[in-house]
Amino acid sequence: MDNLKFVQHGGIRIDFAFNHLERIAQARHEIEDESYKDNALYKYHEEKAKLTLQIDELLAKAEKQKNEIHDFITTKYDEGLIRTTLLLSEAMELIANNAGASLL
């Protein structure tokens, strides 16, 4: 409740916020109704959500791979070669990313 007082003193209309939340809750309730699951628009959004999840998983794997590459370089190369090898690795990554982007 203190947060609402802070918001109200900040010049934000609380009734507007509650009306907006009420509309969101109503829409959510209607979407959960089984009849909306047959709606083509719902299916598009459901597929988009699945794709977004797959992208997030792939980005996490790519970040893990990048960390493994860094760890590999810093443990396998002499200290004098680490900086050069890291730069070379970054260049390889840029080339691979550009090659991958051209496939899209």
Predicted pLDDT at 64: 96
CA distance 95 to 63: 17
Predicted pLDDT at 37: 66
Angle at the Cα of 99 from the Cα atoms of 94 and 102, rounded to 5 degrees: 125
pLDDT in tens, 21-68: 788 887 777 766 666 667 788 889 889 999 999 999 999 999 999 999
**Residue bearing the bigger pLDDT, 24 or 12:** 24
pTM assigned to the model: 0.54
Could you give the count of Cα atoms lying within 13 Å of 37 in the half-sphere of its Cβ?
Answer: 4
The H-assigned helical ranges of 13-102 are: 14-32, 40-76, 79-102
CA distance 71 to 44: 41
**Residue bearing the bigger pLDDT, 104 or 32:** 32
Of 4, 25, 27, residue with least CA distance to 15: 4
Residue 77, judged by CB atoms within 10 A of its CB (0-12, 13-18, 19+), counts as: middle
Query: How sure is the predictor about 100, in pLDDT bands with cuts at 50, 70 and 90?
Result: low
